[in-house]
Structure 1
Amino acid sequence: MTITEGRGPEERKRDVLARLERETDIWVASADAGGLPCLVALWFVWDGASVWLSTRITNPTGRNLRDGGRTRLAFGDTQDVVLIDGDVRTYDGKDVPAAAIDAFRAKTGWDPREDSDSYAFFQVRPRTVQALDGVHEMRGRHVMEDGVWVV
């Protein structure tokens, strides 16, 4: 195997931001109080500072996000990965900011509140973002640390 030079930090950040705008689904990892993991793909919206998700508060992911207050989000396959670790704030359908609803509807064509009162919204504020395209990009993969872009 030949290891080639990877992208620089600015290019990685640009690629992450482009994916946050372009992608429709994101992997959402959470765990319950006992540590039982849960992994699902959900539609999402990026507002420039936070990722917004919606799912029923009555399902394991909804409960885990609400109760745990943390998540790991992911795009890509093993050769083109974006990992986002973030803090979660939960909103019910009545309290979610109108701008988040408008952006969610514009991107997905769906307003979860119209389906069921059990849908909640989850604002994920990134704390750490990693971006790597293969093993040669392991070094320098952190493009955000402690909630601040490093580039």
Structure 2
Amino acid sequence: MTDAPRSLGQRKADTLARLVSPVLDAWVSTDGPNLVPLTLAWFQDRLVAATDRTTPTAKSLITTGRARVGLGPTRDVVMIDAVLDRWLPVTEAPEIGDAYVAQNDWDPRTAGPSYIFLLLHPTRIQAWREANEIPGRTLMRTGTWLT
């Protein structure tokens, strides 16, 4: 038997706790069905990804300006639709780099000159655990948290 569905407020709190948790690993899609694993950080209401500028993921995200991010196991899912806010070399963003390193287990500023930060602005966030939470899964719509 499944637990009663969480309230919207509890789902938002749980989602925000996950976003600031250590080593925020995610699956990221930028161009349809392809998924790549990336470690993210949560900084000033943005998801921050770090990757080499030459990767297909970085190129696609810069071109399309859109990403879909999946967090968690199948029975505690957070799905985030996001738009690219901006991107910049890891060496040009000390406060972003410090925040990324504080949350994660590696420092992309040591990975080489072609590494960049991609800042993603969430536009829709959904979270659910079991089928009974699917009807109320949307927590954010058009970049605004629902109340």
TM-score (norm 1): 0.88
Q: Distance in 1 between matches of 2:22 and 2:135?
A: 25
Equivalent residue number for residue 21 of structure 1: 20
Partner residue in 2 for 1:91: 88
Equivalent position of 2:10 in the other structure:
11
What residue ranges of structure 2 are gaps of 5+ in the alignment? Answer: none
| Whole-angstrom CA distance in 1 between matches of 2:37 and 2:96 | 19
> What RMSD over aligned residues (CA atoms) do the two structures have, in Å?
1.7
Asked whether the equivalents of residues 26 and 44 of structure 1 are also in contact (C-alpha less than 8 Å), the reply is: yes
Q: Is the 8 A contact 2:2 2:130 kept in 1?
A: no
What secondary structure is seen at the aligned counterpart in 1 of 2:20?
A: helix
Separation in 2, partners of 1:142, 1:6: 13
Could you tell me which of 70, 76, 80 is aligned with 1:80?
A: 76
Aligned residue type for 1:9: L
Q: State the Cα distance separating 1:77 from its structure 2 match.
A: 2.2
Count of paired positions: 145
Q: Aligned pair 1:41/2:37, yes or no?
A: yes
Sequence identity (%): 36
TM-score of the superposition, structure 2-length normalised? 0.90
Structure 1 unmatched runs, 5+: none
Give 3-state SS (helix, strand or coil) of 1:38's partner. Answer: coil
Query: CA offsets per residue over residues 59-111 of structure 1, 9 Å max, x none?
Result: 1111111111110111122221100100112212344x321111112222433
2:40 is paired with a residue whose SS is: strand
Q: Does 1:141 align with 2:118?
A: no
* Residue aligned with 1:79, SS: coil
Aligned-partner residue type, residue 89 of structure 2 = D
- Partner in structure 2 of residue 60 of structure 1: 56
